[in-house]
């Protein structure tokens, strides 16, 4: 299973946001999309998912033009985790997660035993079992985000697209979600996620794509692409990249912003 964009232009009719985006995601890898506010990460994701029409170029799912696929066919290949939001009706966490099964349930049917099992497994994987019968309107922002991720897992698509899955989470939950994302990729799912924290790319990404001014500035493995110079250009602030020695013996890059107290490198 591959999800690819070929020379994709995205935006809204009369207001193009980005151009010439080409990227490819295969099963088992985490591709992390970095970009400042307003660079169009969400719009790009929605275009990849076919929720917005491509303004040019094409989206390919397994090599087939996504425009020719039904919503149901797309949903069986790609699931989507939107940014956590309020709910209109007080559905329980279990009911929300079950809705992830809709592409597997025929038009007039209700969820069967196997759908319930898939939803339970997804909730279990994200530690939501205790919240299953609580109303979605009564849980915290972080728990909502985890619920939406569980719904995407229940969808059992080979590729997951996540729009800032860590945005509403506290420090501990951010790490836990990144662990889950890594685990998903290690068990064969392809993950495309956006984040505002470059360190997240160091933590879990196999490849990084940098979106700047509506175009891909750089794409590649984190160690090569995530240079201080690239990050400075991307975010417009001075950045120091440094290597931290871990007690286990390994090393990891971390990204530090500079300039707040007048420091320079």
* Closest-CA residue to 105 (of 115, 93, 96): 115
CA distance 232 to 188: 33
Cβ proximity to other proteins: between 176 and 182 the closer is 176
62 binds other proteins (CB under 8 A): no
Considering only 2, 26, 58, 135, the residue that binds other proteins (CB under 8 A) is 135
Q: Smallest distance, Å, CB 131 to other proteins?
A: 6
Contacting range for other proteins; rule: CB under 8 A; set: 5-13, 28-36, 83-91, 186-194: 83-91
CA distance 200 to 157: 23
CA distance 193 to 86: 21
Cβ proximity to other proteins: between 5 and 74 the closer is 74
153 binds other proteins (CB under 8 A): no
Residue 73 has φ and ψ, to the nearest 5°, of -65, -40
Considering only 7, 12, 38, 51, the residue that binds other proteins (CB under 8 A) is 51
Report residue 185 as tokens: 């990729």
Q: Smallest distance, Å, CB 74 to other proteins?
A: 7
CA pseudo-torsion sign 45, 162, 238, 255:
negative
Residue 35 has φ and ψ, to the nearest 5°, of 180, 150
156 binds other proteins (CB under 8 A): no
137 binds other proteins (CB under 8 A): yes
* Closest-CA residue to 69 (of 103, 40, 35): 103
82 binds other proteins (CB under 8 A): yes
Interface with other proteins by CB under 8 A: which residues?
Answer: 46, 49-51, 70-72, 74-76, 78-80, 82, 85-92, 95, 99-100, 102-103, 105, 107-111, 130-131, 133-135, 137-139, 151, 155
């Amino acid at each position: 299973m591959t999800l690819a964009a070929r020379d994709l232009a995205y935006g809204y009719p009369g207001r193009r946001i980005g151009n010439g985006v080409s990227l490819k995601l295969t099963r088992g890898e985490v591709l992390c999309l970095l970009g400042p506010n307003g660079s169009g990460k969400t719009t790009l994701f929605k275009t990849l998912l076919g929720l917005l029409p491509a303004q040019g170029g094409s989206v390919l799912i397994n090599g087939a033009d996504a425009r020719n696929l039904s919503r149901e066919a797309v949903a069986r290949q790609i699931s989507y985790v939107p940014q956590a939001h309020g709910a209109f009706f007080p559905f329980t966490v279990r009911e929300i997660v079950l809705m992830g099964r809709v592409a597997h349930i025929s038009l007039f049917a209700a969820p069967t035993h196997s759908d319930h099992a898939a939803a339970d497994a997804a909730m279990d994987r994200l530690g939501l079992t205790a919240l299953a019968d609580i109303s979605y309107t009564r849980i915290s922002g972080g728990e909502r985000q985890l619920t939406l991720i569980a719904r995407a897992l229940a969808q059992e698509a080979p590729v997951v697209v996540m729009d800032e899955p860590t945005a509403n989470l506290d420090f501990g939950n951010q790490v836990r979600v990144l662990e889950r994302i890594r685990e998903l990729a290690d068990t064969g799912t392809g993950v495309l996620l956006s984040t505002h924290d470059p360190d997240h790319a160091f933590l879990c990404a196999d490849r990084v794509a940098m979106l700047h001014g509506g175009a891909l500035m750089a794409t590649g493995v984190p160690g090569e692409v995530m240079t201080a110079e690239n990050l400075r250009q991307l975010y417009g602030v001075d950045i120091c990249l440094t290597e931290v020695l871990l007690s286990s013996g390994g090393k990891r890059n971390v990204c530090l912003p500079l300039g707040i107290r007048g420091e320079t490198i």
